[in-house]
Amino acid sequence: MLTRIEIDGFKSFRDFELNVPPFLVVIGRNAAGKSNLFDAIQFLSRLASDPVLEAAQHMRGDVVDLFHRPTEGPPFTTMAFAAEVLLDRSVTDAFGDTAEVHHSRLRYELEIELRSISPSGSQRPYVVREVVRRIRRADDKWMEHRNAEQRKRLGAYRPGADPLETETDDPGRPVFSIRQQGNQGRKRRLPASAATATVLSSLTTATDFPLLYALKREMQSWRLLHLDPSALRAPDSYDDPDNLAANGGHLANTLRRLADETGTDDRPDGVLNDLSADLAAVIPGVTRVRLSEDDARRQRQVMVVTRDEAPFSARVASDGTLRAIALLAALYDPRGAGLICFEEPENGIFPQRLAQFVRYLRNLVDRALNSPTDGAALTQLILSSHSPAILRALQPLDDREVAAVFMDVVSRVQRGHRPSRISRWRAIAGARQLTFDDALRSAVVSPSEIAEFEVQAELGT
């Protein structure tokens, strides 16, 4: 679980810091930086597996476009990230080896530099600093907001050296210094003068460096669901993957696996029944989601059952219905646990039902934090929206740990620095009275500003 992110020099971000709760809604107009925030999370996720250049090429724009560009002069040539995470208590690698994780709270810091590599002006990104630090119990502000049972179950702290540092060796060259989980064992050193990939991406097994490998797997679990209606509608071959793709592909096989893995004699469809109940509450007329199996063609198709009509296939279902099914499937799937970023959940959902849908999403995120006996894996959800309807949907959740932040773009003029247009976030005040300190910090969006945002959204301006 991602509990804090810091971004400096990536796209529209300078000195950006955000504490991330299990359920977060990011609201703002178009071009406010919401998608850039998701890009930063996805970039970090890819850097846990891929070389820096390859990870950058999967982002929107060219490599140089990822670096912050001030309003005057050339773009930056460095970017830096920090991410604080909560790890699972054990990790299993691709070879089936499982290692215990004895310290569950880590801070990951990364700095990337863009360098010219030829007289023609070709540029390549390199890792110049990579650090992983233990978050000590006394310094763990995030865990202070958990109840006693959660702190006991989720928090693991063991004294020891930080597992990864960037140091200088005897000849004065930069090196990445890697330590094993405990205090014992010699350091492993890797040259850091021309690193084209992160240390995390080089790890392949859980046994040598469990903390670092667990961090790698945690970051790999961060994903953006950018659902494509054509992918959601496509039938699956029996031989296709049974994990939901980022574009929504393989939805039918994912639902089949969920039903098989969670089904019992009394409930042969398992959590597919719960998913159907959730969907029926937010999509008028829908009563059930089921699967059509064509053994002759070895194909599987999602079917939607309604009260008044015969079941119909995903080929003719609405985009909103399919998006809701896919998001619910991702949240119900233990194999897909991790951080899910999802844009515009209100699309295709009746405004009167949106609050109910958000409530169900929040309940699914709550499962792992509050119900350890059901075996649910930790899941985190960040929703982004430019619609004020999502604000009204959040009203019933005011008494729970749900954060809603408002993002916009402002001009930053600071002595000694070039002026920039940067993304910032502010808390939403809601009905509470703003204090004088709030006004000085401009850290809270006033009710009047939110009202103006709602009017402009309705007018399409």
DSSP string, 5-28: EEEESBTT-SSEEEE--SEEEEE-
* 16-19/2-8 β-pairing: antiparallel
Instruction: Provide the whole-model pTM.
Output: 0.90
| Secondary structure (3-state) at 199 | helix
Position 433 confidence tier, pLDDT thresholds 50, 70, 90: very low
The pLDDT score that the predictor gives to residue 461 is 54
Beta bridge partners of 300: 236, 293
| Percent of the chain whose predicted confidence (pLDDT) is above 70 | 89
Using CA atoms, how far apart are residues 217 and 42, in angstroms rounded to an integer? 14
With a cut of 60, say whether residue 224 has pLDDT above it.
yes
| Percent of the chain whose predicted confidence (pLDDT) is above 90 | 58
Q: Where are the alpha helices (DSSP H) in 25-147?
A: 34-47, 52-57, 141-144
Cα first-last separation, the chain: 36
Rg of the chain on CA atoms, in Å:
23
Q: For the chain, what are the domain ranges?
A: 2-224+386-459, 226-335
- Determine phi and psi for 152, rounding to 5 degrees: -70, -40
Position 170 confidence tier, pLDDT thresholds 50, 70, 90: confident
pLDDT tens, residue by residue, 103-135: 999 999 999 999 998 887 789 999 999 999 999
With a cut of 60, say whether residue 185 has pLDDT above it.
no
Nearest to 291 by CA among 323, 265, 268, 319: 268
With a cut of 50, say whether residue 436 has pLDDT above it.
no
CA 244 to mean position of chain CA atoms: 15
Angle, helices 34-47/210-220, rounded to nearest 10 degrees = 140
Mean pLDDT of 424-453: 60
The total of other beta-carbon atoms located within 10 Å of residue 306's CB is 15
Two tokens, residue 153: 């179950």
The pLDDT score that the predictor gives to residue 334 is 78
Listing DSSP states for 161-195 in one string gives --SEEEEE-TTS-EEEEE--SSS-SPPEEEE-SSB
Listing DSSP states for 272-287 in one string gives HHHHHHHHHHHSTTEE
pLDDT tens, residue by residue, 300-313: 999 999 887 778 88
With a cut of 60, say whether residue 5 has pLDDT above it.
yes
